[in-house]
Amino acid sequence: MPAEVRLLRRATAKQLGRWGMFTAVDEAELLVTELATNVIKHVGEGTSATLILERRGERLRLEVHDRSPVLPSPRLAECTEECGRGLHLLAALAVDWGAVVSAVGKAVWCEVSVEEERACLRLERAVEVLENYLEAGSGPPLGGRRREVALAGSAVELIADLLHWSASGGHDPDDILDRAQMHYEAESEAA
């Protein structure tokens, strides 16, 4: 896989992470790989192409534009193992896909369904822990902005309690924080 395809995959994952669309990363990376690989294979390596990601409510649209006006056509009956594989994958994974001639070439696009309410597992676990922590130390449930402020306060208290726990077990709290920060940054960069 050419370096450019890896860069497109990374850029896709990073953008989806910014949008909080963590559950769509794997599928989007696969589709971007197929779209970009098709440009390399059918238009030529080194060909200039543009990737566009667009969030459309419950869908994510992925488009790759190149300078060739030749539209792709999946030939189901005539295909060998490699021929048309990317288009078949697009058709299988995407809610919809297509190709259009543009003023300077063509665009091949696909849309995948994304559930905006599904959050990253780590975020879901963190909210659950913080809500339990908040309930253990306070009175009636809060709503809106007051709830967010209370959860942030719970996060500080929880981190402090975890550092006390680690110190009582003979661990260096600074080392624990450094390791947690490195782990967080590694996951953020991968996303």
The predicted pLDDT at position 25 comes to 87
Residue 144's pLDDT band (boundaries 50, 70, 90)?
low
Task: Kindly report which listed range (11-15, 86-90, 164-168) carries the lowest average pLDDT score.
Answer: 86-90
Reduced to 3 states (helix: H, G, I; strand: E, B; else coil), residue 64 is strand
Q: ∠ CA(29), CA(30), CA(34), 5° rounding?
A: 115
The 10 Å Cβ neighbour count of residue 18 is 9
Residue-averaged pLDDT of the chain? 79
Residue 22, beta-bridge partner list: none
pLDDT band at 52 (very low <50, low <70, confident <90, very high): very high
Helix (H) or strand (E) holding 49: strand 49-56
Whether the model clears a pTM of 0.85, i.e. scores above it, the answer is no
Going from N- to C-terminal start, the domains of the chain cover 3-113, 121-190
To the nearest 10 degrees (0 to 180), the angle between helices 25-42 and 85-93 is 150
- CATH number of the structural domain 3-113: 3.30.565.10
Pairwise pLDDT comparison (187 vs 11), residue with the higher score: 11
Judged against a pLDDT cut of 90, whether residue 136 lies above it is answered with: no
Residues 133-155: b if buried by 16+ CB within 10 A, e if exposed? bbeeeeeeeeeeeeeeebbeebe
Count of residues in the chain: 191
Range from 35-49, 93-107, 129-143, 154-168 that averages highest in pLDDT: 93-107
Calculate mean pLDDT across residues 158-183.
82
Q: Which residue in the block uniquely carries the two structure tokens 């995407």?
A: 94
* pLDDT band with cut points at 50, 70 and 90 for residue 79: very low
Number of Cβ within 10 Å of residue 63's Cβ equals 18
pLDDT category at 140 given cuts 50, 70, 90 is low
| pLDDT level of residue 81 (50, 70, 90 thresholds) | very low
Dihedral, CA of residue 30, residue 31, residue 35 and residue 40, to nearest 10:
0
pLDDT band (50, 70, 90) for residue 111: very high
Three-state secondary-structure class, residue 92: helix
Q: What is d(CA 110, CA 32) in angstroms, rounded to the nearest whole number?
A: 10
Q: How far is CA 103 from CA 67, 144, 185, in A?
A: 9, 49, 42
